[in-house]
Amino acid sequence: MRQTKSTNSILRKLLANLKKQSNQNKVKIWASLASNLSKPARIQRTVNLTHLERYGKAGETLVVPGKVLGTGVLSKKMTVAAWRFSEKAFQKINKTGTAISIDELMKKNPAGKKVRIIG
C-alpha cells in the first residue's frame, strides 16, 4: 500500500516547523503534536467548546491537533491554539480568551511550557 502525504502545503510546512522546533529545543510536545497532525483528516480530532470548558482550567494554554467547533459556551479565560477553528468557535473563544494558530504558539512559547494537548 502506498503512503500518501497531505497536499496542503501550509500543513506540511507546519509539520516541518514542529519537528524542527522539537529537535532544537528537545521538547517532546511539538513532536507529539506533529505526529497527531500528520494523520489523515478523517482521523484528526474535532473538539467542541463544551469539551474545552469541561477539561480546561482558567489561564491554561490548550492545543487541539485538529479543528475546534463552536458548540457550547466558553466562560473561562484560556488560550486555545489549533490547526483550524470554525468561525463561531473563533468568535466565542476571543470573547473570553484567545484563539491563536499553532505557529503563533510556537513563536510565543518555543519551550512548550504549560501547554496541554487536548482532544
Given a cut of 90, whether residue 28 has pLDDT beyond it is yes
Per-residue confidence (pLDDT) for residue 43, from 0 to 100:
87
Q: For residue 41, what pLDDT band results from cuts at 50, 70 and 90?
A: confident
Per-residue confidence (pLDDT) for residue 108, from 0 to 100:
94
d(CA 66, CA 82): 6
pLDDT digits (tens, 9 = 90+) for 45-69: 999 999 999 999 999 999 999 999 9
| pTM metric for this prediction | 0.89
Q: For residue 42, what pLDDT band results from cuts at 50, 70 and 90?
A: confident
Q: Which domains does the chain have, with CATH numbers?
A: 9-117 (3.100.10.10)
Between the alpha carbon of residue 20 and those of residues 3, 12, 31, 64, 76, the distances in Å are: 22, 12, 9, 19, 32
With CA atoms as reference, report the closest residue to 66 among 92, 84, 48. 84
Q: For residue 1, what pLDDT band results from cuts at 50, 70 and 90?
A: low
User: If you average pLDDT over residues 67-76, what whole number do you get?
Assistant: 94
User: If you average pLDDT over residues 25-42, what whole number do you get?
Assistant: 91
